[in-house]
Structure 1
């Protein structure tokens, strides 16, 4: 019992407010030098394993629950032998859901870099309808975009060049490309 009281007095979590920020928690758990690394990597993994979430009303994570979570995580409430023999349990369903969310935001047509830049240019400049009017576009690039369903032939201009029009699928793909690469 005496050891537990001394440990609680030395416990860095006991110096935090009841609801602490991720920075404060990271410093208390792993120290200043490794705090940013812990927040970027370990915190995501720990949240998947049930680490207490940020309380929106109080703007921080509840420190008493963090202490309790670590006691369970480190096996302090069980015998040491029993906790070292347990196999780790990951929340694969949470990882699968995150992967599906990410893949839904990912460009879907499988366009290479040149096709993506040509498509983005065509969406931004609807008056550019032939490969001559579009930078870095050639007949091959336009045909590849047409194969993927991003554009369709819309006739021939007076010079004999095929005019192209962006499809709805092409507009949606351009939005996904912009968000995926530029966050817009």
Structure 2
């Protein structure tokens, strides 16, 4: 069978809902996917990662594999909140030392 442009292997690891809907449901089904995804997020479908700008496709696939009984563990969800990538490089405020009296 010939691979089409909407196969899972052809989309990025963090894909937009448009790319995921095309791969999972076929072209032109983005609005349907967004409605389905909103419902499935309450059951564990990975949310859109704000930092990466898309859903982690292997976790989306793992979610459906779990839903259909192919695996027995849940995928990890997207990180909570926006990451501060520069935080590791900032100096911490100096602590004042108290001298004993």
TM-score normalised by L of structure 1: 0.34
Q: Which is greater in Rg?
A: 1
Report deviation, 1:30.
0.5
Which residue is equivalent to 1:61?
55
Which residue is equivalent to 1:172?
none
The structure with the largest strand share of the pair is: 1
Which residue is equivalent to 1:71?
65
Report deviation, 1:37.
1.7
Which residue is equivalent to 1:19?
14
Unpaired segments ≥5 residues, structure 1: 1-5, 79-184
- Where do 4+ consecutive residues of structure 1 move more than 4 Å? none
Q: Does 1:43 align with 2:37?
A: yes
Unpaired segments ≥5 residues, structure 2: 73-101
What whole-Å deviation, never above 9, does each CA across 1:139-160 have from its counterpart, x for those lacking one?
A: xxxxxxxxxxxxxxxxxxxxxx
Partner Cα distance (2:52, 2:28) in 1: 27
What whole-Å deviation, never above 9, does each CA across 1:122-151 have from its counterpart, x for those lacking one?
A: xxxxxxxxxxxxxxxxxxxxxxxxxxxxxx
Q: What SS does the corresponding residue of 2:51 show, helix, strand or coil?
A: coil
What whole-Å deviation, never above 9, does each CA across 1:77-104 have from its counterpart, x for those lacking one?
A: 37xxxxxxxxxxxxxxxxxxxxxxxxxx
The structure with the largest helix share of the pair is: 1
Partner Cα distance (1:14, 1:67) in 2: 11
Query: Bigger relative contact order, structure 1 or 2, given CA contacts below 8 A and separation 6+?
Result: 2
TM-score normalised by L of structure 2: 0.59
Aligned residue pairs, count? 70
Report deviation, 1:43.
1.1
What whole-Å deviation, never above 9, does each CA across 1:6-43 have from its counterpart, x for those lacking one?
A: 9xx8892221101000111111111123332221x211
Which residue is equivalent to 2:23?
28
